Structure 1
Amino acid sequence: MVNQKKARWRKLDNAAKLYSAASNKKDTRVFRFYCELKEDVKPTILQKALDQTMETFPMFLMVLRKGLFWHYLEPCNLHPIVKEEYKEPCSRLYIKDKKNLLFEVTYYKKRINFEVFHVLTDGTGATEFLKELVTNYLYLAHKEEGLEQISMLPEDMTVQDQEDDSFLKYYSKEQRRPKEKKIHAFQIRKKKKDGHHLHVHESVVLVQDVLKRSRELGVSMTVFLTAVYLMAIHEEMSKMQEKRPVVLMVPVNLRKFFPSTSMLNFFNWIEPGYDFAKQDNSFEAILEYTKEFFKEQLTKEKMSAHISELLALELHPILRLAPLELKNLCIHAGAKFSEKNVTAIFSNMSVVKMPESYVPYIERFGVYTNTPKLELCLCSFQDRLSFAFTSRYDTENIERNFYRLLKEQGISSEEVKPVFPKPHVLSEQEMKVYKIYSFLCIALVAVMLVTDWNFHPQVRWTLFTAGGVTTMWIASSIGFFKRYNLLKNVMWQLFIGTIVCFIWDVLTGWHSWSVDLVLPIMSVATLAAMFVIAKVQKSPVREYLIYEIMAAGYGLILPMILLLCKKVKNPTVSMFGALICFLFLVGVILFKGKEFKEEMHKNLHV
Structure 2
Amino acid sequence: MFQQKRAYWRNLDNAAKLFSATSSLKDTRVFRFYCILKEEIDPELLQEALNRTVKRYPVFLSVMRKGLFWHYLEKSELRPVIREEYKEPCSCLYVRDKKALLFEVTYYHNRINFEVFHALTDGTGATQFLRELVKNYLHLAHQEDGLADVILTDEKVTIRDQEDDSFSKYYNPDMKRSKKKKPHAYQIKKMRKEYDELRVIEGTASVKDVLAVSREKGVSMTVLLTAVYLCAIHEEMSRLQEKRPVILMVPVNLRKVFPSDSMLNFFGYIEPLHKFGEGRDEFSEILEEVKEYFDENLKKEQIARGMNELIAFEKNRILRWAPLELKNPCIKVGAKMAEKEVTAILSNMSTVRMPEEYTPYIERFGVFTSTPKVELCVCSFQDVLSFGFTSRYDSSNIQRNFYRILEELGIPSKIEKPDFPEEVRPNYEGMKFFKVFSFCCIAAVVIGIMGNVIFTPERYWAAFVAAGALSMWFALAVGYLKRHNLLKNAMWQLLVVTIGCILWDLCTGWHGWSVNYVLPGVCMIIQISMMIISKIQSHSPREYMIYYVMAAGYGILLPFILLLTRVITFTAPAVVCVGFSFLFLLALILFKGREFKEEMHKKLHV
Q: Residues 65-84 of structure 1: matches in 2 within 5 Å?
A: 65-84=65-84
Which residue in the other structure is 2:353 paired with? Answer: 353
- Note closer, same or farther for the CA distance 1:224–1:543 as it changes in structure 2 (3 Å cut): same
Instruction: Return 5+ residue gaps in structure 1 as ranges.
Output: none
How far 1:169 moved relative to its partner?
Answer: 0.4
2:482 equivalent in structure 1: 482
Provide closer, same or farther for how the CA distance between residues 459 and 398 of structure 1 changes in structure 2, counting only shifts above 3 A: closer
Alignment of 1:287-326 (within 5 A): 287-326=287-326
Instruction: For residue 550 of structure 1, give the secondary structure of its aligned residue in structure 2.
Output: helix
TM-score, normalized by length of structure 1?
Answer: 0.96
| Residues 510-519 or 549-558, more deviating | 510-519
Q: What is aligned with 2:217?
A: 217
Structure 2 distance, partners of 1:484, 1:271, is 39
| Residue 423 of structure 2 is aligned to residue 420 of structure 1 | no
CA deviation after TM superposition for structure 1 residue 426, in Å: 7.6
CA distance, structure 2, for counterparts of residue 246 and residue 55 of structure 1 = 44
Contact 1:41-1:111 within 8 A present in 2 as well: yes
- Mean alpha-carbon deviation: is it higher for 30-39 or for 418-427? 418-427
CA offsets 1:245-302 (integer angstroms, 9 cap, x no match): 1111100000000000000000000000011222511111111111111110001111
**Mapped contact 1:452–1:463 kept (Cα < 8 A):** no
The match for 2:586 is: 586
Specify the alignment match of 2:507 in structure 1: 507
- Report the Cα offset of residue 225 of structure 1: 1.2
Matches within 5 A, 1:117-128: 117-128=117-128
Residues 82-121 of structure 1: pairs in structure 2 closer than 5 A: 82-121=82-121
Aligned to 2:568: 568
Cα distance between partner residues in 1 of 2:459 and 2:202: 69
Deviation of the 1:392 alpha carbon: 1.4
Matches within 5 A, 1:146-165: 146-165=146-165
Q: Give the letter for the 2:428 counterpart.
A: E
3-state secondary structure, aligned to 1:341 = coil
State how 1:119-518 maps to structure 2 within 5 Å.
Answer: 119-423=119-423, 427-456=427-456, 468-518=468-518
String of CA shifts for 1:124-180, please: whole Å, max 9, x gaps: 000001011111111111111111112322111111111000000000011134211
With structure 2 as the length reference, what TM-score do the two structures score?
A: 0.96
| Deviation sequence 1:336-394 (CA, Å, 0-9, x none) | 11111111111000000001111111000000011111111110001111011111122
- What is the distance in 1 between the residues matched to 2:236 and 2:477? 46
Deviation of 1:93 (Å): 0.8
> What secondary structure is seen at the aligned counterpart in 2 of 1:489?
helix
Q: Secondary structure at the match of 2:428?
A: helix
Counterpart residue type for residue 317 of structure 1: R
Deviation at 1:229, TM superposition (A): 1.2
Rounded Cα–Cα distance in structure 1 between residues aligned with 2:490 and 2:40: 46
Shift in CA distance, 181/463, structure 1 to aligned 2, threshold 3 Å: closer
Rate the CA distance shift 1:417–1:424 in 2: closer, same or farther, 3 A. Answer: closer
| CA distance in structure 2 between the partners assigned to 1:430 and 1:19 by the alignment | 24
Separation of aligned partners in 1, 2:461 and 2:282: 77
Q: Secondary structure at the match of 1:78?
A: coil
**Stretch moving more, 173-182 or 517-526:** 173-182
CA distance in 1, matches of 2:472, 2:286: 63
CA deviations on 1:216-255 (whole Å, 9 max, x unpaired) are 1111111111111111211222221111111111000000
Q: What secondary structure, in the 3-state scheme, does the structure 1 residue paired with 2:389 have?
A: strand
Contact 2:21 2:331 in 1 (8 A): yes
Q: Which amino acid aligns with 2:434?
A: Y
In structure 2, the residue matched to 1:534 is: 534
Confirm or deny: 8 A CA contact 2:88 2:426 kept in the other structure: no
Q: How far apart in 2 are the matches of 1:177 and 1:302?
A: 11
Q: Number of matched residues?
A: 606
Stretches of structure 2 lacking an aligned partner (at least 5 in a row) = none
1:78, distance to aligned residue in structure 2 (A): 1.6
CA distance in 1, matches of 2:374, 2:2: 38
Contact 2:6 2:160 in 1 (8 A): no
- The CA distance in 2 between the partners of 1:457 and 1:208, in whole Å, is 81
